Chains A and B, each alone.
Chain A
Amino acid sequence: MSMTTAIGRVDRTDDAQRKTAAGQRPGPSGQAAATGTAGPLRLETHRLSRAVAGKTLLDSVSVRISPGEITAVVGPSGAGKSTFLRLLNRLDEPTGGSVLLNGQDYRSVPPRMLRRRLGMVMQMAYLFPGTVAANIAFGPKQRGETMTADQIAALLTRVGLPGYQGRDVGTLSGGEAQRVSFARTLANAPEGLLLDEPTSALDEASVRGVEELLQGIVAERRITCVIVTHNRPQAARIARHTMVLEAGRLAAFGPTDEVLHAG
């Protein structure tokens, strides 16, 4: 492995972010809410592996994700990038190793709670039929919570879609749908954010808009963020750290400029 050793490296958090969040994380409305935890989520993988039908998809990957920052996962097709992300969200089961959330093995966290804490935005928006507002309120509703109209409106304004709450999702453009998907995940007030090539189906203008939104939200809320991208320039634009996967193995991990220049 080149660059910084994955395990044991010093995690850095931007001072400006610390000042902005001050140990607090916004709730569904976009307003600050106490998290009960000290600082952003610490996310680590320990020898994380997955094999299906004898084929190794991810091979013993150990990394410590920088808390409260964006980490990019890059690599060629079939490298195991999406497998890595799905394992973090436990949509698939590891066949070896584990994931630690603030030092706790994630198998000890109920899957529904885990997925609320580690929100995931997929490559496609996969909105549920109905209105934008119903989609935004979906996550909190699963816990018996009701979002007010003001909370939904504030969240939509934050993702650049003011007044969209009554719109039917079928009328949205690709970029708008992805922003709604993003807002829907944020409505759960996640501590971590996992994004699987969220801009791959968007035009260039929409890509930049989503990138700016992501950077802004991560900075505001001090969310620990992992984004899978096949787009190295995108990783260079938004991620402080980057990990490179090749054939299911961790090939490099470190500050983005060092990793990408070395590649």
Chain B
Amino acid sequence: MLADLLHRISGEVAMGLAQAGGAIALCLAVIAVCRRFTVRVEREAAVSLARGLVQMVAVGIVLALLLRGSLLVGLLILLGMTFAAAVTAARRARAVRGALLISFWSIAAGSGVVIGAMIAMRTLDTRIAMLVPVGSMIIANSMNSCAQAAERFRADVTAHIGQVEAGLALGADPAVAVSPYVRSAVYASLLPRLDMLKSLGLVWIPGVMAGMMVSGASPIYAGIYQFILVAMILTASGISGLVVTLLLRTRAFSPAAQLTLRGDAAAAAGALSAR
């Protein structure tokens, strides 16, 4: 197995790395243009590009080694991916205690329900070669949805502290006081996935469909399968966005229904209220 892997590295992989170099060069050009407009993303983009390349090469190596592994191995890989996704998404909600755990449960809820349902409906093969790539797509979208919902909820609540506290001061339950911001956070997290579904086949033909057609599947079946996959991604995203927002909502208040989720400026709350 290892010998086979090394053999592949010498040919295809070298070509792939050269192509990746070309893609990176194009990204760097865009970053340089951004810099002209004082959009400073050099550092973040460089780290993201480096991480993306290293991670994908590592995943390729792991998949090549584990291609014949059992369902359990596949599920453990997905669990590891879910944890890594939670670490990334939790950065959007650093101000909240337990952000990592909240992100993990949100992503696990969304992707777990959907992957389980797909396996049960036999729309997802349990072979690692199929389970891990498709599962990772679902986890990645759950992660994005989780991060978007968390960021939107935090931003909306901290921008409307006065309105939230006005609601509390009128005797509203905390859930009622932040209900407009729960709605907007969940909607904002679903919007990219809804747009993805609307534009399916019109604006883009996703990779899975293209891959299936290349490997000889019927274009009609490939199209239907791609639709199922995007619909499942929307489902997973909806669950993750909703779960993360509801968990954040519970952490946003103290047991005495006091708003504890505040912006950086207001975090030194006392200083603000010491007028």
Contacts and interface: CB of A to CB of B under 8 A. Distances in A.
Whether both chains belong to one complex is answered with: yes
Interface of A: 50-53, 55, 57-58, 77-83, 86, 89-93, 111-113, 115-116, 119-120, 122, 124, 126, 128, 138-139, 142-143, 181, 184-185, 188, 197, 228, 248
A112 B269 contact: no
A243 to B, nearest CB: 15
Given A77-B275, A82-B275, A92 B171 contact: no
Interface string B241-274: 0000000000000101111000000001111011
Contacts of B166: 122, 126, 128, 181
Interface of B: 162-163, 165-173, 176, 254, 256-259, 268-271, 273-275
Contacts of B270: 50-53, 55, 57, 83
A188 B273 contact: no
A92 B258 contact: yes
A116 B169 CA distance: 7
Contacts of A248: 274
A228 B168 CA distance: 19
A31 B5 CA distance: 85
SS of A interface (majority):
mixed
A142 B173 contact: yes
A93 B254 contact: yes
A92 B274 contact: no
A142 B171 contact: yes
- Select the residue from A57, A143, A197 with max chain B CB neighbours within 10 A: A57
A91 B269 contact: no
Nearest to A75: B275
B274 A80 contact: yes
8 closest Cβ contacts across the A-B interface? Answer: A52-B270, A116-B171, A126-B166, A120-B169, A82-B275, A139-B170, A57-B274, A111-B257
B275 A119 contact: no
Contacts of A228: 275
B162 A124 contact: yes
Contact of B257 (A51, A55, A83, A112): A112
Contacts of B271: 52, 55
